[in-house]
């Protein structure tokens, strides 16, 4: 059976992005969304990525929920719920480009700082989760980019790789479910979306296994450095996407 170039490209994108998400616990959406939007369109790419992300988050939680920092996770979720309505207000305004540029700058600067001086910054208290979750809620409600503040919080907490990976899913899974419900109520759950989801599901399952094996086999210091480099990459991708958005809007 011959596979058309678009389907092959979708499989390739999901192959890379789902492995990264399974191994590190984040990064799939900012890697896959820009390409999938071009290949499938926004109304298919958005719910598809949400379905894939929620599937991986659930699988990681089932395997590693004992490692989760529950107190931080629920604080992040609750404070995000408070921030989402504010984000929806921003969605109606013309704040997207400046806020995305600021976020990209923070991600790039923060990740470079961690790479150069990895032992200088640390946050010990769990109450700071309320602040980062609130910011994540604003960004999620406005531009579907709730992940970066949560990742920064995890990096500042100096979580062990297992705790980092599982606690992120403890945040992403419930908030992702809310997003999925919103997509369903908005009529975005279509036959095309589920066709592509079932098509890539074997790749997702394979990468869940491979990602789990990968993070188990690398030393903590190397994992942290790779995580910081991935965070830098996410910041650069966000900057590039924002610049392209500025160009498209004239």
156-171 per-position pLDDT tens digit: 888 888 888 899 999 9
Q: Which long-range contacts (CB under 8 A, 24 or more apart) does 30-37 make?
A: 30/145, 30/147, 30/234, 30/237, 30/238, 30/241, 31/234, 31/237, 34/237, 34/241, 34/244, 35/9, 36/10
The pTM (predicted TM-score) of the whole model is 0.80
Tens digits of per-residue pLDDT, 7-34?
Answer: 889 999 999 999 989 988 887 887 888 7
- 230-244 average pLDDT score: 84
- The pLDDT of residue 247 is 84
Question: Are 225 and 116 contacting, i.e. CB atoms less than 8 angstroms apart?
Answer: no
Contact 171/48 with Cβ under 8 angstroms? Answer: no
CB proximity list for 44: less than 8 A, separation 6 or greater:
36, 190, 192, 193, 196
More reliable by pLDDT, 200 or 247? 200
| pLDDT at position 198 over 90 | yes
Average pLDDT of the residues in 144-151: 79
pLDDT band at 250 (very low <50, low <70, confident <90, very high): low
Percent of the chain at pLDDT > 90 equals: 21
């Amino acid at each position: 059976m011959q596979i058309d170039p678009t389907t092959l490209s979708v499989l390739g994108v999901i192959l890379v992005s789902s492995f990264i998400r399974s191994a590190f616990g984040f990064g799939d959406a900012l890697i896959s969304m820009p390409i999938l939007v071009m290949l499938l369109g926004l109304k298919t790419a958005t719910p598809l990525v949400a379905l894939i992300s929620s599937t991986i988050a659930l699988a990681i939680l089932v395997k590693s929920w004992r490692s989760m920092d529950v107190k931080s996770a629920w604080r992040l979720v609750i404070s995000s719920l408070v921030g989402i309505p504010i984000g929806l207000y921003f969605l109606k305004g013309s704040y997207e480009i400046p806020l995305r540029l600021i976020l990209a700058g923070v991600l790039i600067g923060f990740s470079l700082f961690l790479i150069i001086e990895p032992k200088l910054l640390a946050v010990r208290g769990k109450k700071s989760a309320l602040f980062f979750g609130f910011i994540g809620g604003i960004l999620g409600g406005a531009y579907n980019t709730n992940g970066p503040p949560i990742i920064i919080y995890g990096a500042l907490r100096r979580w062990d790789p297992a705790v980092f990976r599982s606690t992120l899913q403890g945040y992403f899974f419930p908030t992702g479910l809310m997003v999925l419900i919103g997509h369903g109520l908005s009529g975005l759950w279509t036959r095309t979306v589920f066709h592509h989801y079932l098509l890539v599901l074997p790749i997702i399952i394979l990468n869940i296994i491979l990602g789990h094996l990968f993070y188990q086999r690398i030393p903590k210091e190397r994992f942290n450095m790779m995580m910081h480099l991935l965070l830098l990459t996410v910041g650069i991708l966000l900057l590039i996407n924002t610049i392209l958005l500025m160009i498209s809007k004239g």
